[in-house]
Structure 1
Amino acid sequence: MVGLDLKKIRAQFPALDQEINGEPVIFFDGPGGTQVPDSVMKAMSDYLRVSNANAHGEFATSRRTDELIDSARLAMADFLGCSPDEIVFGANMTTLTFSLSRAIARELKPGDEIIVTQLDHYANVSPWLALEEQGVVIRTVNLNVEDCTLDLTDLKQKVNERTKLVAVGYASNAVGTINNVAEVVKIAHAVNALVFIDAVHYAPHGLIDVRELDCDFLTCSAYKFFGPHVGVLYGKRKHFSRLRPYKVKPAPKEIPACWETGTLNYEGLAGVVATIDYLADLGRQILPSVENRRTAIVTAMTAIANYERELCQHLITKLLQIPGLTFYGISAPQKFNWRTPTVAIRLREQTPYAVAKALGDRGIFTWHGNFYALGLTERLGIESSGGLLRIGLVHYNSIAEIDRLLTALLEIAALPTV
């Protein structure tokens, strides 16, 4: 099996052709939102040009929209490994999580417990914290400061017969740690607790199989894996059928439509279908004999993970050689299967803001701050001093881009501080 054709991949992303001061722009901002291939832009434009109409009408463009909704559910089902009627679309992951948490709250009583973690984006913390208003107890799992991994021993100690739900991230959007979510599911299900997984950061980096995980709910966002701004929620059919969402009357009663509020972003759904097809096409280029889209996606995501591991090892090995650099997260190569190529650092006597700006002025785009992973930056003791500098790689990045970043960081580290 051949690997990824980087030249062919990069040619599909027009944003990569931009320049600043005569130098190509480098997008290491993937965890905040990835760039989009031409095919996705075309699909969205084509929908608006020839199919733009609301759903469920008795005319041609409306029927095309109905067909599009079905196609989008099927595409995301292929991406996540589930059935189309277990896919719900929304504005974003945060909105979907708040909506679901409110519905789950109907079944909770004072004294029931929900578990969150210090490692998570607060979109998977705040919706559950809000349930404290009705007497639900929120417990927080600690992280291991030395490598920014989740303390599973602490999780096991906190799970008990009162635990009703465990909310956990598939991977940290701040430091790249991949959590052992399969083990979390087993621990939670042993006490009949539900498991809600935030896979927003993990989705562009590795294969997701919700059936194999046996999780109850999982969320992701298409704009984090080369698509438009559309949020996606997977839920087991039995849960979607039992729980009662808050809805405007009158509203569809059938699942999954009953979980979707208002009019969907139809042009966004067109982009979602094209995004999944882009990934499937990568798989077919690697293994032309694949028989269906799910198999092609499995092939593509496996190749992406392998390539990104090479990028990650090159980046981290060189970063650790820079004087005055502090590295946060997993740095041992033998543990790279448990991290995404998202790296968090600080330079001595340089704020993350100052470093991000200096890089941005050189056409190298990174992020600074806490990235809504507030529990992490507070636990590390760096929230008040500006948080982290985050370097996020995806499969359209290259070794040459990493080397240019490393050269720039060496220059910035040698600059006098004010």
Structure 2
Amino acid sequence: MSQFTVQKLRAAFPALHETATNKPFIYFDGPGGTQMAQQALDAMVAYITGGMANLHGAFPTSIKTDNLLEEARKAVADLLNCAPAEVAFGQNMTSHAFAIARSLGTLIKPGDEIVVTELDHRANVDPWVTMANDKGATIKFLEVDPATYTLNLDNLHELITEKTKLVAVGMSSNVMGTVTPIEKIIARAKEVNAIVILDAVHAVPHLPIDFKKLGCDVLLCSGYKFFGPHIGIAVIAETLFEKLPVYKLQPAPQTIPDKLETGTQNHEAIAGLIGAIAFIAAQGEGETRRQQLRSGMQRIEAHELQLANRIESFLSQLPDVTLYRAPAGHPKTPTFAFTVAGTNARDVTTWFAENHNMCIADGHFYASTMAEKLGVIPMGGWVRIGLAPYNTLQEVEQFEQALQEFLANRKTN
């Protein structure tokens, strides 16, 4: 992606616009949530100002809302390559995971086994752990290799057995960007007829996703991680979704995907989601929206990879910085976790914010199992810098200069 294209892309984000009274932040907190594209904002405002209504009425604004949900499902289906009827909306990924776990719990009995990972955000761990505790099932962990920051799959066949009923794994780490070879895990899970849950919250903003090709049962993601509003998305394979015994009100629809969408949905956020997906499609080309979305994601990925390679090279050469990064050749998203020797992570990020207007996050980022295993909790967790497609080479250069300044100040104080 050329610099001209990046500047054109940046024009679509109001939060990046500089005014006479406002010097915009440099946003390196994409993994925690991206800025919202103008298309998403416009779609939300258009729905609200055009008249809001609940579903299934005979009057125009209600019919408009019915059509809105139908169009949103089609847009998500094109983004993730699933069927529109497999798409359900909700509060967020975590709420969806707990609701689905509650339903799947009816299929779990004492002695069954559930496999989760040490690498993941706890939103793809604790719903299944809670279900296992309720049902008397056994939890097993795919372990993180502390030398490579990847999952150890050497004992996959011993870990996923005929007793395994569910496997929950993240497509990529929200802390250090490690992309997990989920195809291998899914293949083994399917050999024993286990249900596979994928956390794609951190993957969707960076990688083209093909739900049908993956062959998983459930994929979870969040709109605010890819340029839209706060809304959760659950994609559930129709064969599972149809028989999923969800907790719902008696008069509520029994059909998919409506039966999982308890209560009134956030219709304005759903409108914004359509706008966010339209923004991604506008970055690509092709005759269909699916083609445009794949092309757009490939261009976003190429641009981010160029910047990521530079950051990785820079951070790996600093003697006082420990970079937690998978080895060369292992796929990674443009998300970096590091620590500075003898310095609390919050002190680092506060300095960046106060001195350089940079939004850089710190903490364990809910990947607390891995944080404990790698011993970073006493240091306040990691410092995390994560890229989005609106980040530029100039911003990366400013980050490099700022970090060198911080390290130099530490030595003189």
TM-score by structure 2 length?
Answer: 0.96
* Kept in 1: contact 2:179–2:333 (CA 8 A): yes
Is 1:387 aligned to 2:400, yes or no?
no
Q: How far did residue 21 of structure 1 move? A: 10
Is 1:401 aligned to 2:407, yes or no?
no
Q: How far did residue 14 of structure 1 move? A: 1.2
CA pair 25-381 structure 1, distance change in 2 beyond 3 A? same
Within 2, Cα distance between the matches of 1:68 and 1:35?
23
Within 2, Cα distance between the matches of 1:11 and 1:395?
12
- The aligned runs of 1:227-246 (5 Å cut-off) are 227-246=228-247
Q: How far did residue 368 of structure 1 move? A: 0.3
Could you tell me which residue of structure 2 aligns to residue 375 of structure 1? 369
Within 1, Cα distance between the matches of 2:327 and 2:361?
20
Q: Which runs of 5+ in 1 are unaligned?
A: 285-289
Partner of 2:107, secondary structure, is coil
Could you tell me which residue of structure 1 aligns to residue 404 of structure 2? 410
- Report the residue type matching 1:75 in the other structure: A
* Kept in 1: contact 2:34–2:227 (CA 8 A): yes
> Identity, % of aligned pairs?
40
- Report the residue type matching 2:335 in the other structure: T
- Report the residue type matching 1:276 in the other structure: I
CA pair 43-312 structure 1, distance change in 2 beyond 3 A? same
Could you tell me which residue of structure 2 aligns to residue 307 of structure 1? 303
Q: How far did residue 415 of structure 1 move? A: 2.4
CA pair 24-53 structure 1, distance change in 2 beyond 3 A? closer
CA-to-aligned-CA distance 1:59-109 (integer Å, 9 cap, x gap): 010000000010000000111101100001000000000000110000110
Deviates more, 1:17-26 or 1:106-115: 17-26
Is 1:355 aligned to 2:351, yes or no?
no
Q: How far did residue 319 of structure 1 move? A: 1.3
Is 1:340 aligned to 2:368, yes or no?
no
Partner of 1:410, secondary structure, is helix
Within 2, Cα distance between the matches of 1:280 and 1:16?
20
Could you tell me which residue of structure 2 aligns to residue 287 of structure 1? none
CA-atom RMSD in angstroms: 1.7
CA pair 403-106 structure 1, distance change in 2 beyond 3 A? same
* Kept in 2: contact 1:142–1:154 (CA 8 A): no
Q: Which runs of 5+ in 2 are unaligned?
A: none
Within 2, Cα distance between the matches of 1:88 and 1:193?
22
CA pair 4-135 structure 1, distance change in 2 beyond 3 A? farther
Partner of 2:155, secondary structure, is helix
Q: How far did residue 2 of structure 1 move? A: 8.1
* Kept in 2: contact 1:4–1:282 (CA 8 A): no
Partner of 1:56, secondary structure, is coil
Partner of 1:234, secondary structure, is strand
* Kept in 2: contact 1:4–1:304 (CA 8 A): no
Q: How far did residue 224 of structure 1 move? A: 0.2
Is 1:269 aligned to 2:270, yes or no?
yes
* Kept in 2: contact 1:85–1:256 (CA 8 A): yes
Could you tell me which residue of structure 1 aligns to residue 13 of structure 2? 13
- The aligned runs of 1:138-153 (5 Å cut-off) are 138-153=139-154
Could you tell me which residue of structure 1 aligns to residue 121 of structure 2? 121
CA-to-aligned-CA distance 1:27-58 (integer Å, 9 cap, x gap): 00000000011111111011001131111111
Q: How far did residue 24 of structure 1 move? A: 4.3
Within 2, Cα distance between the matches of 1:208 and 1:407?
35
Within 1, Cα distance between the matches of 2:276 and 2:254?
29
Is 1:319 aligned to 2:315, yes or no?
yes
- The aligned runs of 1:16-415 (5 Å cut-off) are 16-18=16-18, 24-131=24-131, 132-284=133-285, 290-332=286-328, 334-335=329-330, 338-361=331-354, 362-415=356-409
CA-to-aligned-CA distance 1:241-270 (integer Å, 9 cap, x gap): 111100122211111100111101000010
TM-score by structure 1 length?
Answer: 0.95
Equivalenced residues, count? 410
CA pair 205-275 structure 1, distance change in 2 beyond 3 A? same
Within 2, Cα distance between the matches of 1:88 and 1:9?
29
* Kept in 1: contact 2:15–2:24 (CA 8 A): no
Partner of 1:152, secondary structure, is coil
